[in-house]
Structure 1
Amino acid sequence: MEKSFPLERKDQILDLITRKGRITVDELIERFKVSGATIRRDLEFLERQGLITRAHGGAMSKSRVSLEPDFFEEKEKFLEEKERIGDEANKLVEEDEVIFLEASTSVLQLARNLKNRRNLTVVTNSLDIACELEESKGINLILTGGNLKRRTHALIGPLTETTLSQMRLDKTFVGISALDISYGITMATMEEAKTRKDIAKASNKVIVLCDHSKFSKQNFAYVGSLESIDILITDKGIPDEMRKEVERRGVEVRTV
């Protein structure tokens, strides 16, 4: 395997350990073609995050459960809530705008509402959203390009980041893995988190779409504070105290 980028390599190491249960430093050196010192630093980082346990000559998984949900499983969860969230988000999309639709099962529901729109430019890093909108004649559809995350059908990585750095977006619609009052917004992998930051940086307004199951949780990679959100659209399962605190931070909250 050719040498990989540090963030991508850590994600892949974590995935290997999660799937295999245990792996040696020598196996990782051979796979990634980097030095033993580099691999040990990667393992130390993952251990500090509480994701693995270091063992003599390698590392072991703390859990066999993947941090990154399967797209097909995820999109069936809380489907009615996601449909209502998508309907509400549709009200925020205006003619002649350039919007970004991030690879997310909640944002996919918004995309399904946009099929008959006219004079709209949609940028996306989602293969599923691109397929959903490919026959919509009134939409100028742009794919970012990038490395394919097969479990989520998302395009991420350096090419995606380069594309985003050349754009100015009116609005961005994104999903999240977890939202916690104290810790902020987190995603399953560092690469996803980096891409999410680049998306937000390119946008005038960031709109988060998520169901209540994402609240009061923390995931692996930090994205940003609550203040980095402009609008949060969620279902009525959001706890009252959380809603009040999110609004206190200056975020508009819409429940459906």
Structure 2
Amino acid sequence: MRIEQLAEQFGISAMTIHRDLDELEDQGLLRKSRGVATATSTALVESSDAYRVGRQHAEKEAMALAAMEYIEPNQAIMLDDSTSAMHLIPHLSTTTPLKVITNTLTIMNELRGTRGIEMIGLGGEYYNWCSAFMGRMTVREIAELRADLFVMSTSAIVDDICFHQTLETVDVKRAMFEAASVRVLLADSTKFEKRALHAMLPLSDFDVVIVDAGIDQRHVTRLRENGVNVQIARRPSAGR
């Protein structure tokens, strides 16, 4: 929305709106640029994790449960900064012992003190909008590690290639991808409707691409015809 519209809607001054939006932007909840406040992602800007965490909740939970089938005790697993991967966190304690490697502060805090889980926290420059560490230091640390499994998501899928809005994110996810033996992509159906600027990885490079049941069947058919291992995550039935 335009800032003038917000001031009119709430009956307060534009100066007050600017001050409040500045505070929300510092928390990574929105973007403010050229008189416009934006919460949703665009081809150039990803929305904050605080906004994304509440989107497609049921679909992400179903995909996380499907991804748990690839996690076994005594593995070292890498998790990216996606809110889809965060849905794995409540379930990891059922498959211990595990070593979890992540650049995401939210995941570190959630898993801190969990019995049977050791953590490797990747450092670097901290980015508030995604609650994660990225940059050259992060990539260098990842290059010195080898994981059994990497679970990630993406901002957009264009021409059956993962895309993201920021190069820093692309660099970190590529490094994690290269450091893992098995790579799992969580891609809810909305990713196929979005666009982003920077190409990351083709879907055909992943060992499995897990999608939600709401995906257009045409995408599934095309991907499978092109050799992509697509798994459709079904929501758990009531009472399970």
Q: Which TM-score bucket, shorter chain as reference?
A: 0.7 to 0.9
Structure with more relative contact order (C-alpha pairs < 8 Å, separation 6 or more): 2
Report the counterpart of residue 184 of structure 2 in structure 1. Answer: 207
Report how far residue 250 of structure 1 moved: 2.4
Report the counterpart of residue 120 of structure 1 in structure 2. Answer: 98
Q: Map 1:215-226 to 2 at 5 A.
A: 215-226=192-203
Counterpart contact for 2:39–2:51, Cα < 8 Å: no
Aligned residues: 199
Residues in 1 aligned to 2:214 and 2:161: alpha-carbon distance in whole angstroms: 19
Counterpart contact for 2:208–2:228, Cα < 8 Å: yes
Report how far residue 211 of structure 1 moved: 1.3
Report how far residue 253 of structure 1 moved: 1.2
Task: Give, as a single letter, the amino acid of the residue that structure 2 aligns with 1:201.
Answer: E
Task: Give, as a single letter, the amino acid of the residue that structure 2 aligns with 1:141.
Answer: M
Residues in 1 aligned to 2:209 and 2:222: alpha-carbon distance in whole angstroms: 12
Q: Tell me whether 1:177 sits opposite 2:152 in the alignment.
A: no
Report the counterpart of residue 155 of structure 1 in structure 2. Answer: 133
Q: Tell me whether 1:237 sits opposite 2:181 in the alignment.
A: no
Query: CA RMSD for the aligned pairs?
Result: 2.0
Report the counterpart of residue 253 of structure 1 in structure 2. Answer: 230
Report how far residue 65 of structure 1 moved: 6.7
The sequence identity of aligned pairs, in percent, is: 26
Counterpart contact for 2:71–2:95, Cα < 8 Å: no
Counterpart contact for 2:150–2:183, Cα < 8 Å: yes
Report the counterpart of residue 227 of structure 1 in structure 2. Answer: 204
Report how far residue 115 of structure 1 moved: 2.7
Residues in 2 aligned to 1:237 and 1:209: alpha-carbon distance in whole angstroms: 14
Report the counterpart of residue 140 of structure 1 in structure 2. Answer: 118
SS in 2 for 1:222: strand
Task: Give, as a single letter, the amino acid of the residue that structure 2 aligns with 1:110.
Answer: L
SS in 2 for 1:68: coil
Report how far residue 76 of structure 1 moved: 0.4
Residues in 2 aligned to 1:241 and 1:74: alpha-carbon distance in whole angstroms: 26
Please list every run of 5 or more consecutive structure 2 residues that lacks an aligned counterpart in the other structure: 1-30, 234-240
Counterpart contact for 1:21–1:64, Cα < 8 Å: no
Residues in 2 aligned to 1:208 and 1:20: alpha-carbon distance in whole angstroms: 32
Match for residue 72 of structure 2 among 81, 94, 97? 94
Task: Give, as a single letter, the amino acid of the residue that structure 2 aligns with 1:226.
Answer: L
Q: Tell me whether 1:192 sits opposite 2:169 in the alignment.
A: yes
Task: Give, as a single letter, the amino acid of the residue that structure 1 aligns with 2:220.
Answer: R
Report how far residue 222 of structure 1 moved: 1.1
Report the counterpart of residue 36 of structure 1 in structure 2. Answer: none
Task: Give, as a single letter, the amino acid of the residue that structure 2 aligns with 1:154.
Answer: A
- The change in CA–CA distance for 1:127 and 1:246 in structure 2 (over 3 A counts) is same
Please list every run of 5 or more consecutive structure 1 residues that lacks an aligned counterpart in the other structure: 1-17, 23-60
Report how far residue 161 of structure 1 moved: 0.4
Q: Deviations over 1:94-135 (max 9, x none)?
A: 111111011111100012211343221110111111111112
SS in 1 for 2:70: coil
SS in 2 for 1:80: helix
Counterpart contact for 1:107–1:173, Cα < 8 Å: yes
Task: Give, as a single letter, the amino acid of the residue that structure 1 aligns with 2:75.
Answer: E
Regions of 4+ moved over 4 Å:
63-66
Counterpart contact for 2:203–2:209, Cα < 8 Å: no
Task: Give, as a single letter, the amino acid of the residue that structure 2 aligns with 1:168.
Answer: R
Residues in 2 aligned to 1:70 and 1:64: alpha-carbon distance in whole angstroms: 8
Task: Give, as a single letter, the amino acid of the residue that structure 2 aligns with 1:200.
Answer: F
